[in-house]
Chains A and B, each alone.
Chain A
C-alpha cells in the first residue's frame, strides 16, 4: 500500500491537478467574456439579442454538463463530418475547455446581469449627462462596479469549475480525478489515490477562497 506514495506518482497526480486548475482558469476566463457579452444581450433593448441571450443561458444551464461535454466531444465531430465530409479529431483538453467555458458562461451571464442591474441608476445617468459612450460607460464605470459586487458568487463559480473539470475525465483528459483513477487501477487501490485527489482539490479551493478574500479587501478601498 505504501509504495503508492512515490515521488513519481505524486508528481503524476500533481500534473493532473495542474490540468484541472488550468482548465478551470481557462473556462472561468472565457466564460467571463461570454458572460459579459450575453449579459449585455439580455439587458439590451434589442429583442433579437434578448432572444439569443435567453436561449444561450437556458440551454447551457438547463442540460447536464456531462451531456454538454459529450456533445462537444462526440457530437460535434459527427456534425462536422456531415457538413464538410472530412473527419475531425477532437482533442479532449480543448473540447473540455470549450464545454466548461460555455457552461460557465451561462452561469456568469446571470451573475454579471444581476451585477450590472445592481449598479446604481445614477451612475448611468451621470454618464448620460456627460455624453460618455455606452462602451466607455460599460468598461470604465458599470462593469468594474458590477464585478466588485459579484466577486463572492464568481469565486464560487470558479470553485465549482475546479470540481466540475473532473467530468472531463469521461472523455479521457488526464485531469486530477482521472489521474487518481489511473493510479487506482494500477495498484488495485482506489482509497489512497482518491484521498490524495480530495486533499489536492481541497487545497486548491481553500487557497482560492483565501485569495478571493484578500482581493475583496483590496478592492474595498473605494468603499
Chain B
C-alpha cells in the first residue's frame, strides 16, 4: 500500500505538484490521467524517488520512505518496479542480459538463477524468442515488453508505469497493454500514468485526474468516465474522445 501525504514539488518557479495526497491499496490499478504538464509523471517519479519532493511524505506499507535512511530506503524502492515511456533498456546489453543484471548484482542471484528468472518473465511477456537481441533490433512494443519483464525480474510488490505506450507506434500499443492487463489480473498493484482512456476505464479500478499539479477528481474508473463530476474532467474527456 502506498500513501502520499501533502506532496509538493517545484521545478524552479514552476509548481509541478501542489499538496498531493493519495492512497493506493494493494491489488489496485490506479490510472493517473490529465493534460500534459499536469504533474502526473512528476507524481509517479516522486513516489518512486526518481524526483525528490520538496515537501511531503510517501509511506510504503505504512512505513515512511526517508532518503536519509539509505539502506531501508533502497529496500523500499526495490519493492517498486518502474517502466519508462522510452523503455530505457540497457543499449549495450541483450534482452536477456538486461533482465539478468539486477537480479545478479542487486538480488544476489547466481547466473543460473538469474537466467531462470529472466526466462520466466520474458516468456510471460512473449519475448522468449528475442532474448539474444540488442534493444536497437527490437520494435517499440518489444522493447517495452522486455522492459516490463526486466522490472518484474526484481520481484516488485507494485509496478509504476510512466506513459508506457506513449512512444509506441499505434499498432504496438495493444501488445503492451495486454501484458499490463495480465499483470493486473494476477493481482499486481499498479500505478499507471497514461493517455490510454480505454485501458484506464476497462482495466483500471480507479482514476486520479490531475491538472496544474493538483488532484481535481478521483473516482472509480467506470464512474469517472460515465459521469465525471468536475467541469475540468468533463472538458478533458470531451477533448480526448473523438465522436
Interface residues of A (CB under 8 A from B): 120, 122-123, 125-126, 128-133, 136, 140-141, 144-145, 148, 221-223
Contacts and interface: CB of A to CB of B under 8 A. Distances in A.
Given A132-B101, A133-B106, A141 B50 contact: no
B228 interface: no
Interface in B9-49: 48
Given A122-B84, A125-B84, A140-B101, A131 B90 contact: no
Contacts of A125: 50, 84, 88
B84 A145 contact: no
Given A128-B50, A129-B48, A129-B50, 12 more contacts: A120-B88, A129-B77, A131-B154, A132-B105, A136-B101, A140-B90, A140-B93, A141-B90, A141-B93, A145-B91, A221-B134, A222-B135
A119 to B, nearest CB: 9
B106 A129 contact: no
Contacts of B91: 120, 123, 145, 222
A141 B151 CA distance: 16
A186 to B, nearest CB: 53
A221 B93 CA distance: 11
Interface residues on B, range: 20 to 34
A131 B92 contact: no
Nearest to A147: B92
Contacts of A141: 90, 92-93, 101
B121 interface: no
A131 B134 contact: no
A220 to B, nearest CB: 9
B105 A222 contact: no
Contacts of A123: 88, 90-91
